[in-house]
Amino acid sequence: MTVSEDRWERRKGSRVFAPSARYRVCTQCIMDTSDPEITFDEAGVCHHCHDYARRVSAEVYPGVKGRQQLAKAVAQIKRDGEGKKYDCILGLSGGVDSTYVAYVTKQLGLRPLAVHLDNGWNSEISVRNIENIVTILGIDLHTEVLDWEEFRRLQVAFLRASTPDSEIPTDHAIISTLYKLAADQGIRWIMDGSNIVTEIMVPATWSHGHSDFGYIKHLNDTFGGAPLKTYPHYDYYDYMVRFPHRQRIERFPLLNYIDFNKMEAMEIMKKELKWTPYGGKHYESIYTRFYQGYILPKKFGFDKRRSHLSCLVNNGRITRDEALAEIQKPALSEEMEREDRVFVAKKLGLSDGEFDAIMNAERKTFWDYPSSERDLPGTKTYKNYIWQARFFGGDFFKSDLNRLGYYTKYYINRYAYFAKWWINRIAYFTWYYIKRYAYFTWYYIKRYAYFTWYYIKRIAYFAFHYTKRVAYFAWHATKRIAYYAAYYAGRIVSYGVAGVRRAGSLGYRAARKVYHLGRTLARYGWRAVTRPDRVVVRLASVLGIAR
Ligand SMILES: [Zn+2]
């Protein structure tokens, strides 16, 4: 089993709706374990609260920054709309968010085309609200009316499939209609009513597969009884490649760029657009009201008010206690519950028994059924399909041809895209490295030339320097040796002369002494005989012994 197969195994109905003893509610908002994938940190704050903080700081631009960004975007939208009838397109359900988007779009001086999807479930108030809005604001309205019989079968198919995704047929059709009209009219911008401040805390497990036509088609073919013919749809290829890249249609989440306060927005709308409130988020449609107020909470334990109120808590509009008090109130009054149940069952062509069977059926999720997202080529279920297609004809084969067609288209586009990407990349790097090597070659040539010249200069300098130095020392040493030679020669001569002179002088003085002694002896010799005492005295005097 691959990793992705394991991921969907964990998300199948049997796991998601398995009875669990533990109940836990976030300490910051009121999200609880009715989201089977909720996680809490040590302080008991749920992951939705962390996501909320992260995404609000990253994707919501309030105040001055928001106004600047918005002004820039509006200028761009106006430029893109030049020469066309409309600058942008917007979905108009008649609910708070979409109505306020229409109002703000008009205030910004843009020329929108409003699109309303009539799926047969509009409440009278919403019809009146939409009429008022487009008349007062002077907006062109396109109403896309779905083939009721086909749409009814699709809705029943989703209910019988027993997944919490029964809003998908409507949501998918409105998105599809918006993109197709935008493409037809050459409109580049979709003003988007979805917003982070009030909508993002809806758990992924509460509904999945809005863009997955493979899923929608499978449920219709399995539980609906007749194929889809006119239902507006798109597939992943359209959503990820054709709309954004081929047709270059962009969605602009307008409400993320203004200080969106739902209460204030409703007051403005009541006053200026003669708008009448519905008493609940998305209750402009009777089906939505009943689905969110009855089927989802009663059958699946999902109460969308919980995520909506949690957003308001995180946004500081209400306190957690107020939200907890609000969620205790029933979503629908008992009377309305009864009326709606009868009305919805009758309109969908379901008997009381059939409706009860739907309410009591085993709960499933998106991951229990084949879909474009789940059954990618290479997975086990996809291989099963191919295997069945080989041995059986009919529906299996036809649906497989469709699937193969879809995947072929998807992968051809995908590979074409990657091929283009790699070619671009390789071309870029080739050019980059050519440039780089050329640069380095030139750089090293320059550098070697410089060093060569430098070392030549340096060697020449040192050669010269040492030659000079050696010559100098040689000369110096020669001079010094000559000087010392001369000096010592002079000294030897000088000492020699002095010695000779001294010896001569000593000899002379000795000779004189001898001579004097001789003379004295000769002169006084005879006296020695007569006066020896005087002789002795004299002799002593001559010899310098005594006077
Ligand atoms: Zn929380």
pLDDT bracket for residue 516 (50, 70, 90): confident
Average pLDDT of the segment spanning 245-268:
89
488-515 pLDDT tens trace: 999 999 999 998 898 988 888 888 888 8
| pTM of the complete model beyond 0.85 | no
Task: Give the distance (Å) from ligand 1 centre to CA of residue 34.
Answer: 12
Higher per-residue pLDDT: 107 or 283: 107
Task: Give the distance (Å) from ligand 1 centre to CA of residue 58.
Answer: 18
Task: Give the distance (Å) from ligand 1 centre to CA of residue 527.
Answer: 155
Q: What per-residue confidence (pLDDT) applies to 380? A: 59
The answer to whether 144 and 210 have CB atoms below 8 angstroms apart is no
For residue 398, pLDDT beyond 60:
no
Q: What per-residue confidence (pLDDT) applies to 393? A: 45
279-310 pLDDT tens trace: 766 677 889 999 999 999 999 999 999 999 99
Task: Give the distance (Å) from ligand 1 centre to CA of residue 240.
Answer: 31
Q: What per-residue confidence (pLDDT) applies to 6? A: 67
Which of 233-247, 396-410, 517-531 has the highest average model confidence (pLDDT)? 233-247
The answer to whether 172 and 155 have CB atoms below 8 angstroms apart is no
Task: Give the distance (Å) from ligand 1 centre to CA of residue 293.
Answer: 22
Task: Give the distance (Å) from ligand 1 centre to CA of residue 359.
Answer: 29
Average pLDDT of the segment spanning 418-430:
88
Task: Give the distance (Å) from ligand 1 centre to CA of residue 51.
Answer: 9
Q: Which amino acid is at 457?
A: K
pLDDT bracket for residue 205 (50, 70, 90): confident
Q: What per-residue confidence (pLDDT) applies to 419? A: 87
The answer to whether 312 and 323 have CB atoms below 8 angstroms apart is yes
Task: Give the distance (Å) from ligand 1 centre to CA of residue 47.
Answer: 6
Task: Give the distance (Å) from ligand 1 centre to CA of residue 55.
Answer: 14
Least confident residue range of 20-24, 54-58, 379-383, 458-462 = 379-383
Q: Exposed, middle or buried: residue 60 (CB in 10 Å: 0-12, 13-18, 19+)?
A: buried
pLDDT bracket for residue 1 (50, 70, 90): very low
Query: Rounded to whole angstroms, how far apart are CA atoms 66 and 258?
Result: 6
Could you give the 3-state DSSP secondary structure of residue 382? helix
Average pLDDT, the chain: 87
Give how far Cα 299 sits from Cα of 4, 97, 208, 362, 363, Å. 28, 27, 17, 10, 8
Task: Give the distance (Å) from ligand 1 centre to CA of residue 313.
Answer: 9
**What contacts 24+ positions apart, CB below 8 Å, involve 19-22?**
none
Which of 201-215, 411-425, 464-478 has the highest average model confidence (pLDDT)? 464-478
The answer to whether 272 and 210 have CB atoms below 8 angstroms apart is no
30-86 pLDDT tens trace: 999 999 889 999 999 999 999 999 888 888 888 888 889 899 999 999 999 999 999
151-178 pLDDT tens trace: 999 999 999 999 999 999 999 999 999 9
User: Dihedral, CA atoms, 129, 131, 136, 137, nearest 10 degrees?
Assistant: 90
For residue 4, pLDDT beyond 60:
no
For residue 544, pLDDT beyond 80:
no
